[in-house]
Amino acid sequence: MKTQTLTRTATGLVVGALLLTGCGSSDSSSSSTTAAEKTTTTAPSLQIDDVWARQSPMGTSAGAVYLEITSPIDDELVGASVPTDIAGTTEIHETVMADEGEASTTEAMGDDDTSTTEMGGGDAMTMRPVESIELPAGETVKLAPGGYHIMLLDLVEPLEVGDTFEVTLSLQVAGDRTVTAEVREG
Amino acid sequence: MASPRDLTRTAALPAALLVAALLVAGVALAGCGSGSDAEGTTTTKADQIQGIVRDEPLQVGDLSLPEVAAGDTETPFAFRADDGKLLFVAFGYTNCPDVCPTTLYDIKKARKQLGADGDRVQVAFATVDPERDTADVMTQYLGSFATDGHPLRTDDPDQLHAAQDGFGVTSSVVKNADGSTDVSHSARSFVVDDQGDVVVEWSFGTGADVMASDLELLLAQQDGAS
Ligand SMILES: [Cu+2]
């Protein structure tokens, strides 16, 4: 995934805009300026990439939507919704360590020092609704497994690979944006 | 330009942009293609176990939970892999949209990466929320990740806790006044060998590549030992 950093840095808007086309799941208010005009001067627009939901395992009625969002200004994601034929309730959630304190990251890969760490149940996780997600200007905030997600409750039907559906994001400053989520295997 | 109506989708790109698109298409696709780049794992073949290995392995072979099947039949399932195999174990609940399916999908992918040896990795998933996770739900759910999986469920909290203690994990299920349920559980997963020893533990987000690499090494070790 070296390319990730590439896209996010200096190559800038042209690549950024094309990334959107690659995902087919974003909207941005940049419309018809040409690549040349866009290189340096134009203010960047709100960018929402890589919007996806996991295919529903059998037997569950809950789902999660993930995405990456970069706001050109300080903003906040304050709400999300999906059409009622997709899910009954939509909430913004965060997966967090269930116990405070000893939430140290003990993922020391293959290190011997792991034997000195207390390992009993220290990584219990839970999810909780959050009021909002901060979007600092220019920073790419990822909603990804193990962190933030848009929780879908009471799915009307299981989400299947290849399905797409609309997700409306409410931003404190920028207002509502509707993007398309794509269902993937995982 | 900012009216929502004007928000353009992909179709109206000028030709110049499309030319540029070809140049960076590789980049764009790489940026979008994979849903699970959060793990940031690499495919480099490691020569040592990357998960967590204890000096004194946990021994869980004498513990068991009921394995459920459609139609409410139950058979005791011991936490010990069949001869020459390894057993993956995770605790969770099916209404968990984030942590549990991520881990179960990773082990599914890891087994696939192992090719024929994938069959030498058994998969068990135990519910910490038996009230909502009925036998039928558990069977269906795990079937989405491993058709040969072992769904584990008990109505007896003591039995569940005994099993969790063996693995050093905890969980809690709290019902709220508004009807919602808060569940917390350890997001760690485990691999048990055919002696009932926990041979590696993986933190949440370890990813399929590291899992596959560890499993390959462990299977080879087990072959060498027998
Ligand atoms: Cu959630």
ipTM of the complex: 0.74
Q: Which of A2, A5, A9, A19 to mutate to test the interface with B (most CBs of B within 10 A)?
A: A19
Please tell me if residue B206 touches chain A, with a CB cutoff of 8 Å: yes
What's the total number of domains in chain A?
A: 2
Same domain flag for A18 and A86: no
CATH code at position A166: 2.60.40.1890
In a domain, A143, yes or no: yes
CA distance B157 to A29: 54
Which among A3, A64, A124 has the least Cβ separation from residue B184? A124
Res B72: pLDDT: 73
pLDDT band at B47, cuts 50/70/90?
A: confident
Helix (H, G, I), strand (E, B) or coil at B223: helix
Res A100: pLDDT: 43
pLDDT tens digits for A10-62? Answer: 333 333 333 333 333 344 444 444 444 444 556 679 999 999 999 999 999 99
The residue among B167, B104, B185, B174 whose CA lies nearest residue A96 is B185
Same domain flag for A89 and A177: yes
Cβ contact (<8 Å) for B34 and A1? yes
Cβ contact (<8 Å) for A124 and B171? yes
Question: Residue B16, exposed/middle/buried by CB under 10 A (0-12, 13-18, 19+)?
Answer: exposed
In a domain, A105, yes or no: no
Res A3: pLDDT: 37
Q: Which has more pLDDT, A160 or B15?
A: A160
pLDDT tens digits for A124-139? Answer: 899 999 999 999 999 9
Please tell me if residue B35 touches chain A, with a CB cutoff of 8 Å: yes
The residue among B115, B114, B154 whose CA lies nearest residue B134 is B154
Domain membership of residue A160 as a residue range: 45-97+128-184
Res B226: pLDDT: 60
Shortest CA gap B133–chain A (Å): 9
Domain B64-225 in CATH 3.40.30.10? The answer is yes
Cβ contact (<8 Å) for A34 and B16? yes
Across residues A165-169, what is the average pLDDT? 98
Res B180: pLDDT: 84
Please tell me if residue A96 touches chain B, with a CB cutoff of 8 Å: no
Instruction: Please state, for a pLDDT cut of 70, what percent of chain A lies above it.
Output: 64
Helices (H), chain B: 15-33, 99-113, 135-143, 157-167, 208-225
Which among B106, B184, B204 has the least Cβ separation from residue A98? B184
pLDDT tens digits for B164-185? Answer: 999 999 999 999 888 888 899 9
User: Mean pLDDT of all residues in chain B?
Assistant: 83
In a domain, A106, yes or no: no
- Whose structure tokens read 């808060």? B182
Same domain flag for A66 and A32: no
Across residues B77-102, what is the average pLDDT? 95
pTM: 0.74
